[in-house]
Amino acid sequence: MTRRERTVDVLVIGARERPRSARLVPGTRPPGVYATGELQQAVHLHRQRIGTRAVVIGNEPVSRAATDTLRVAGLDVVAVVTDQPPSRLTAPVRPRDRPPLLTHATVTALTGRARLTGVQLRHHDGRTTTLHCDTVVFTGDWIPDHELARRGAIARDPGTRGPAYDAACRTTRAGVFAVGNPLHGVESAGVAAAEGRAVAAPVLRHLVAEAWPTGRPAVAVDHPLRWVAPNLVGPGAHAPLRGRFSVRTSRRLHAPLLVVRQDGRVLHRQRLLLPVEPGRPFHLRADWLDRVDPHGAAVRIAVR
């Protein structure tokens, strides 16, 4: 009798930006409304003429890339708009090559039919304004491309909205691994490539002999944290591929104390010395994983 050969699949399906319609921004869809990827294709691939005055929505690293692309195309970027409050990441004196950053502002509507004519904003104090422009770029607010995972009946994490996975990049479906941006928001291409190389070792262990784990405790977060990745605790991996957990928050936290608990037991405490900001990952050490009860309840991460 011959032994049945094992096979594996590795999901490297990426993520996409949430479009205007999914952000529930009212208005028509006139020419001049882009996501970052659409903008970069139009400018760098198709050499299209975009417009003259632009507004960028979002204040993430990709927002700066969108701003640079607009300037390459010859547009005047009149403002970058974010619904987040000012932070230490907002320079007290704006560099001359950077557009104004409008914080605590929400997009309420787009105006124009034959062509975009403006972006309506509501400020935190109730004021409303209109930025006159013919181009707007919605950046960030990433959504994992999870269609394949959903069709494959792979459980998804409610925080990241991508496949649930453990430190060895194993999903909840036997033989299916996942790496890259569907798991933890958008990181650089270098980070995704490093994860792709590192997952080779867990894949080889599974192909040779390693059984697929079941019943792994989840790793979850309490408000104001948004999500943590990895988000399952599995055997055979004492640390995530990059040796740490990635965490995101929904609001700015000043030198937070992170407390990791399971079934009332404190597994780990870690004080971060610097503030953490929405839209940017911060990191939690993974040296508490060997203290997790594999048969216990979910592990929870809270801020104190």
Q: For residue 214, is pLDDT > 50?
A: yes
100-111 as b/e, with b when 16 or more CB fall inside 10 Å? ebbbebebeebb
Q: Are residues 27 and 91 in the same domain?
A: yes
Q: Are residues 266 and 136 in the same domain?
A: no
Does 1 reside within a domain? no
Q: What is the pLDDT of residue 1?
A: 37
Does 3 reside within a domain? no
Model confidence pLDDT, tens digit, residues 252-298: 899 999 999 999 999 999 999 999 988 788 999 999 999 999 999 99
Counted domains in the chain: 2
Q: What is the pLDDT of residue 45?
A: 92
Instruction: State how far the Cα of 277 lies from the Cα of 259, in Å rounded to an integer.
Output: 18
Domain boundary among 106, 140, 174: 140
Q: Are residues 181 and 268 in the same domain?
A: yes
Q: Is the pTM here over 0.85, yes or no?
A: no
Does 67 reside within a domain? yes
Domain that holds residue 152: 9-15+143-303
Q: Are residues 273 and 159 in the same domain?
A: yes
Sorting pLDDT into bands at 50, 70 and 90, what band is 87? low
Element (H, E) at 198: helix 189-198
Model confidence pLDDT, tens digit, residues 96-148: 668 999 999 999 999 998 999 999 999 999 999 999 999 999 998 888 888 88
Strand partners, 10: 177
Q: Are residues 162 and 286 in the same domain?
A: yes
Q: Are residues 120 and 197 in the same domain?
A: no
Domain boundary among 140, 168, 191: 140
